[in-house]
Homo-oligomer: A and B are copies of this chain.
Amino acid sequence: MSKFSQEIQVSGHLIDSSILTKIFDKIMDLHGEFQVEEINIGKRKKDQSFARLLVKGKNQKHLDEILETVYREGAVSKIQQEITLKKSPKNYVMPDNFYSTTNNHTQVFYKNKWIQVENMMMDKCIVVKQNRAFCVPVRDVKKGDQIIVGEKGIKITPPERPREGVNVFEFMGSSSSSERPTQHIAKQVADDIYNTKKNGGKIVIVGGPAIVHTGADDAVSELIRAGYIDGVLAGNALAVHDIEYATLGTSLGMNVHNATLAYHGHRNHMDTINAVFKAGSIANMVKSKKLKKGIMYECIKNKIPFVLAGSIRDDGPLPDVITDVAQAQREYKKIVKDASMVIMISTMLHSIATGNMLPANVKVIVVDINQPTVTKLMDRGTWQALGIVSDVGAFLPLVAAQLRKKKSLR
């Protein structure tokens, strides 16, 4: 046995979920060597598989690099080792060599047992406190926090590919394309929304102003009113356009019902912002009956939480907008916590933001007319995303029409 070698093992649906393939790939990509010491592939598709490999590197550093890499793919060291903890030297600062998280389900070996990391997200550190482990973003790190360093004692479980059951994720794989039967996909998305809610799941919408421009505001409002949506994440623009549409019938001055330009239309956008400031808040506009329909209205009427995150391009922004982005991130996280499904519509900014906050097992649907946007979102580690390249102005009304046919869940 080589001086610089170590035994690892891995179990689960190794073949089915390509886990073993990925581990072999990674070792070879890093120019390491391996021997399969033992392999036991499930004879039937639901059986678990098990493999034991001996991994070899050119030197200790090389071996460590390989091990670190394969551990991130779900392999575990044969001999369980405790995690190593180091204190944060000051607020916002992690110790050198801190463990940087994936968005997969993660356990850590602490005081001789495995504990699950809470609030799993990508590219964060793990803080251990009172026998619990938390995934923590930089700006929440406090001086003295006990933070995991190195790769020892960490076990990752990649999500398994959904295979059984009928949902829209099954038939599309992870590819995105505009060459799909749109009406059927709308029906599948509607079924998935319905079933998710029926099973007690939580659904969050992340949306951009194109929802309003393209004439899909009524469809989204209807989904909220019908009880399918548990949270709305957006920016200033969606809210302003939605309220402009609800109060003046226009979106950036264009009459949405007939696509003509309104008289004075150029003012409507700024008039809307002024109207909200005058009322003090969106909720006040609803209370005073100045706002009587639309996405924001339905959120307030139905007590669906929404968070409007500020951005540098905002006009206004509205009083309801959280202008501090670090604070807005915290509020977003509260909304997506425990979500089963997130539907991202025509907003790269807020969609990437939300994607970064999601554990890998949350279903994500991305709808956008621009294929590079869809691709970009799916490339950022949210591999479980379903990309739909379509026109939201036509697609969302189709989804709403399908849901209208179903038995009310209320």
Q: Which residues of A contact B (CB under 8 A)?
A: 15-16, 18, 20-21, 24-25, 27-30, 33-36, 39, 41-45, 65, 68-69, 72, 89, 92-94, 96, 98, 100, 123-125, 138-139, 163, 171-172, 175, 177-186, 188, 210, 213-216, 235, 251, 254, 256-261, 263-264, 266-267, 269-271, 273-274, 277-278, 309-317, 319, 323-329, 332, 348-350, 352-353, 356, 369-372, 375, 379, 389-391, 393-395, 397-398
Contacts and interface: CB of A to CB of B under 8 A. Distances in A.
25 contacts: A16-B24, A16-B25, A18-B18, A21-B21, A27-B45, A33-B44, A33-B45, A34-B44, A89-B278, A138-B316, A172-B259, A175-B379, A180-B215, A181-B213, A181-B393, A182-B215, A182-B391, A183-B397, A184-B259, A188-B258, A311-B325, A313-B350, A323-B324, A324-B325, A390-B391
A274 B125 CA distance: 11
Contacts of A210: 178-179
A323 B137 CA distance: 15
Given A29-B261, A68-B264, A312 B393 contact: no
A325 B312 contact: yes
Contact of A310 (B15, B180, B277, B325): B325
Contacts of A251: 181
Contact of A183 (B138, B178, B325, B394): B394
B93 A278 contact: yes
Contacts of A94: 274
Contacts of A35: 43-44
A125 B315 CA distance: 12
Contacts of A271: 100
Nearest to A390: B391
B36 A139 contact: no
Copies in the complex: 4
Contact of A267 (B100, B214, B371, B395): B100
A369 B353 contact: no
Given A93-B277, A391-B369, A65 B263 contact: yes
A312 B235 contact: yes
A356 B257 contact: no
Contact of A315 (B42, B315, B319, B356): B356
A4 B210 CA distance: 39
A328 B2 CA distance: 57
Contacts of A371: 370-372, 375
A68 B29 CA distance: 33
A16 B44 contact: no
Nearest to A236: B325
B325 A259 contact: no
Contacts of A309: 312
Chain B CB count within 10 A is highest, among A188, A309, A313, A317, for A313
A34 B329 CA distance: 47
